[in-house]
Structure 1
């Protein structure tokens, strides 16, 4: 697995509802320590320090306040662009088609615009398919980053990692 794929997988995991197993997780620290990019490694370690220094109740509360109760920082990317407008429905259909073209079928209850799902897909999908989803969602990812930055949220580290990795991944896609 390429470094970019590992990074997508790690960000996918860490953007989900916090798990007790993440705190002081030696395997997670080791996986991050093995990454080549020093800047990305530093951002991950900053985020892990945040995880390790908060109680689980505080982590859960922060996560819910940031991603579940704030429309500008939802992890459902089409919502950032369309809100509850009906344009969101056709966007879902297109995204599901993109997943299916790559041979990935979604469960019925999964929304195809959930950022951790898209990053998990990118960690295992063919480069061409993952690149297409990043092109579709780049604007929403950038807007999410801006809002997290305004909040000085520790999650901004994960979005900065995500954006930097997408940029290098897309450059590599064009080169190949």
Structure 2
């Protein structure tokens, strides 16, 4: 597995609804500690250090309060561009189609703009497909990270590490393909 794939997969896990299994998973800690990207490794470990000091119920409550009950920090990335307008539905369809073209059919009930799902896609999709989707949504992901940083939120660590991984991925793949415009990917 390529470094960017591993990094995006780990970020996807850390950004999902907290589960006791991954909090107690030594393999997760090991995989994070092996990341070559220093910033991502440091930030993911900072988040794990925080998470391990909390009870699972506290983490779940924090997650719900932060990502499910606040439009300001939702994990549904197209919301930042379109809100609840009809254009968001069109963007979701285009994103779902990008996933399908890359050979990944959505099987769950989750919307395709759910950040952990987008990162999971980036971990398994062909390089150009992953790059196009992430580039198209980079500004919204950065905005979410900024809002979390403003309130000194522990999930900022994961977003900041993810953004560092995205920057490295974009740099590594520069010139590989001409990315589609944001409106084509969303």
TM interval, shorter chain, is over 0.9
Q: Distance in 2 between matches of 1:92 and 1:39?
A: 31
User: Larger deviation: 36-45 or 158-167?
Assistant: 36-45
In structure 1, runs of 5+ residues without a counterpart are none
What is the distance in 2 between the residues matched to 1:43 and 1:161? 5
Cα distance in 2 for partners of 1:68, 1:33 equals 29
Mapping of residues 22-41 of structure 1, within 5 Å: 22-41=22-41
Q: TM-score, normalised by structure 2?
A: 0.90
The whole-number CA distance in structure 2 between the counterparts of 1:108 and 1:41 is: 29
Instruction: Give deviations 1:78-128, integer Å, cap 9, x for gaps.
Output: 112211111101101111111111111112622110110110011111000
Return the alpha-carbon distance in structure 2 between the equivalents of residues 57 and 100 of structure 1.
Answer: 36
d(CA) in 2 for partners of 1:104, 1:130: 12
Q: 5 Å matches for 1:1-12?
A: 1-12=1-12
Question: Residues of 1 paired with 2:160 and 2:109: CA distance?
Answer: 28
Cα displacement (A) at 1:57: 1.2
Cα pair 2:76 2:113 within 8 Å, conserved: yes
Q: Give the match for residue 130 of structure 1.
A: 130
Output the aligned Cα RMSD.
Answer: 1.2
Mapped to 1, the partners of 2:39 and 2:104 lie a distance apart of 32
Deviation at 1:26, TM superposition (A): 1.4
Report if aligned partners of 2:92, 2:111 keep a CA contact under 8 Å in 1: yes
**Structure 2: gaps (5+ residues):** 177-186
Q: For residue 60 of structure 1, what is the aligned residue in structure 2?
A: 60
How many correspondences in the alignment?
Answer: 176
Question: Is the CA contact 1:5–1:122 (under 8 Å) kept in the aligned structure 2?
Answer: yes
Partner residue, 2:76: 76
The question of whether the paired residues in 2 share the 8 Å contact of 1:22 and 1:51 is answered with: no
User: Aligned residue for 1:19?
Assistant: 19
Runs of 4+ aligned structure 1 residues displaced above 3 Å come to none
